[in-house]
Amino acid sequence: MATPTEKPGNGSACPQKPQAAPCSTLWALSHQQDQAARLVADRHYNRRKPGSRKFCPPGQQLVLKAPGQLPDALWVTLNQRPEFTDHQWPDAWVNSLFRNESTSLSSALIIDALAVTRYYWPTLPQQGCITFVDSKKVKPKQHPGFCYLKAGFTHVGFTKVNGLHVFQLLPALFPAPRRAAGDFQLRFF
């Protein structure tokens, strides 16, 4: 089985045998140097150096991409390193990148990505998961981060430096764990 820091298998569909958890059909495991995933990351507004091999910030990452040769959605959960934390949620996981170019609802992708994250990282942090949205860099809309609100997140404020919207999902609201597509390993906790 590919772990969150190893290169995954071929992203094929879930096997037809009993498993420890249900399987996601929306997400396959990836890694921070996956060049097909990097192309999606390069189109995200917070990408600092498009084209560079790595597209994740420092810390432990769980990288998910839509299954297939050319992914059309990408998600990164970051387990923050304290020395790089400069906000009020140091004990939260951070969704540092989410891009949806698929026909799937963004809120459904978010919920499923959180379920897959929970499967591989079963101990939820006290502050849950947060994400930051720059309302100046997303499509103009009445509610920046609306897909996060639909996925169960709450708007909890703004960052001090850039005034980014902060959304948080507390542990009690996390979805049940799900394996990533292509993960054939039985896991027992």
What's the token pair of residue 139? 């499509």
3-class secondary-structure state, position 5: coil
Q: Per-residue pLDDT tens, the chain, 189 aa: give them.
A: 344 443 333 333 443 333 567 777 888 888 777 777 676 666 555 656 666 677 666 778 898 988 876 678 889 998 887 777 777 888 899 998 898 888 899 999 999 999 999 999 999 999 999 999 988 767 666 688 999 999 999 999 998 888 889 999 999 999 999 988 876 544 444
Alpha carbon distances (Å) from 106 to 48, 84, 87, 146, 176? 23, 28, 25, 9, 18
State residue 2's pLDDT score.
42
State residue 50's pLDDT score.
65
What's the token pair of residue 25? 């059909």
What's the token pair of residue 143? 């509610």
Phi, psi of 42 (to 5 degrees): -60, -25
Residue 7, C-beta contacts closer than 8 angstroms, at least 6 positions apart:
31, 34
pTM of the model: 0.78
| Strand blocks (E) in 101-189 | 129-133, 154-158, 165-169, 179-181
State residue 59's pLDDT score.
78
